[in-house]
Structure 1
Amino acid sequence: ARAVPSAGDGCWRTSGAGRCRTATSCRSTCTGLRKILRLGDRPDSVIRRDRYGYGLVQGIAEVDVLCVDDLVTRAEAAERAGDLPGAVRLCDRALELFRGEPLAGLPGPLAESERLRLAQRRVALAQRKADWQLRLGRRIEAITGLSALALEEPLNEPVAALLMHALRRDGRRAEALAVFDRIARRLADDLGVDPGALLVRARRGALLGEDTGPGRGRAGAA
């Protein structure tokens, strides 16, 4: 459960006299949500209220973030067991839960930081899925997904480096070098910086035909 004043502080940056108005707004919002979020055709809400505040009914309410956690844990277990196809399928299911903008319309620093964290997690999951696909030899699928991700994240160096690695492994060295040139220009124009070591290593791999693929991290570790 989350107490009303602390929820208000996190969502609306309130203090002092404004906290009373925020508490009223928070209660009104939660009351509306309790009416909407019900257990199927039953009158019971998935949001409970007690003297400590509001919270989800344990064991009944299904939260996408918790479902993602479970799917990622199972995907990593599948990888450890050598079942990479199963890991990819589970990762696909986790990525399908990222629908639209997280916490859309919810103001305040708490929502902003959570939106950023979830966006970063989605990118990390997509990278891990592509890595597994490459290890399975499914290069076209990996390249397709990474190309779309690179368009969404034009300044993301790990994504660009993994895409370059995938293109090089598919024999498309010129395209890999074009990816480097494109992100190098964006980094210079937008941030005034040069490509980092990861991109430089990927470029060297494309030029020399060496396997310099980025190291593998935990799926969705953010």
Structure 2
Amino acid sequence: MAEHVRIRLLGPVAAMRGAAAVDPGSPRQRAVLAILASHPGQVVPIPRLVDGLWGEHPPRSAEQSVYTYVAGLRRALEPSRKRHRHSELLAGGGGGYRLEVDPRHVDAVVLAGHVESARLEMRRDAAAEALASLEAAQSLWHGDPLSGVPGPFADAERARLAELRLTVAERHAEALLRLDRPCDALVPLRDLTRRHPIRERLRELLILALLRSGNRAEALEVYNEGGRILREELGVDPGASLRAAYDLA
């Protein structure tokens, strides 16, 4: 396993060999790297790569293009490999390709580990440990995930990771509240609620942080604003959890 290769997906798709940056190539070649890096050590079948790159209407040359992209990645990631030697990093077989990189060296995989650790720590009421795991998760972001990479896989992964990023932010605020640090949660919660006005969990946490920091008037304003936006945008009233936070105010 090539432990010296690192892959970044939580921003522009990038690769490193030791301290040296590697150019992963064209946008679709980067898309192949992103698909393989999302499943380190696992064979990704060629039809799955084709589907991830083009969806339901691939070009006739799709499989040949995949071979070309894989060859390009091998040249970029293993510049010293002899021409006729088998690739140890990007292996073929089983009807597909396998990226032999340490999962700890793929930032999106590391992110998932931190999120799961935080979930378990919160369940056992270890808020300080959960906060540390969540802050480690937040430190991994370098921009919009898989930015500039085309294809259905990248589109779906961007949406999944964007949702996960919001979930991490919510759990981070929850951990701060459990640690009786509501003032530390206010700035990020205000910003996130402004950018995601119909996300009720963010608004609920903001109301709780405001109440616990002694700002009841703003908490009421935040609830009333949320109710108005939900009715105007979605035609629904606030959910039970948001109403419960309002009742505390």
* Structure-1 residue corresponding to 2:148: 105
Comparing both structures, which one devotes a greater share of its residues to helix? 1
Match of 2:228 among 155, 160, 185: 185
Paired residue secondary structure (1:154): coil
Q: Cα deviation per residue 1:162-197 (whole Å; 9 max; x = unaligned)?
A: 111111111111111121222223223322322222
Match of 1:29 in 2: 69
Residue 104 of structure 1: how far off its partner (Å) = 1.8
Q: Does 1:43 align with 2:80?
A: yes
- More relative contact order in 1 or in 2 (CA 8 Å, sep 6+)? 2
In 2, are the aligned partners of 1:78 and 1:87 still within 8 Å (CA)? yes
- Note the C-alpha offset of 1:124: 1.1
Alpha-carbon displacement from aligned partner over 1:142-166 (angstroms, at most 9, x marks no partner): 1222122212322101111111111
Change (3 A) 1:199 1:109: same
Work out whether 1:3 is the aligned partner of 2:41.
no
Structure 1 residue matching 2:98: 3-state secondary structure: strand
Name the counterpart of 1:196. Answer: 239
Alignment of 1:1-222 (within 5 A): 1-15=43-57, 18-37=58-77, 43=80, 47-51=89-93, 52-59=95-102, 62-79=105-122, 83-206=126-249
| Higher fraction of strand | 2
Q: How many residues are paired up?
A: 201
**Amino acid across the alignment from 2:50:** G
TM-score by structure 1 length?
0.78
What runs of 5+ residues in structure 1 fail to find an aligned partner?
Answer: 207-222
User: Normalising to structure 2: TM-score of the pair?
Assistant: 0.70
> Match of 1:213?
none
Question: Does structure 2 conserve the Cα–Cα contact (< 8 Å) formed by 1:155 and 1:183?
Answer: yes
- Measured in 1, the distance between the counterparts of 2:47 and 2:74 equals 19
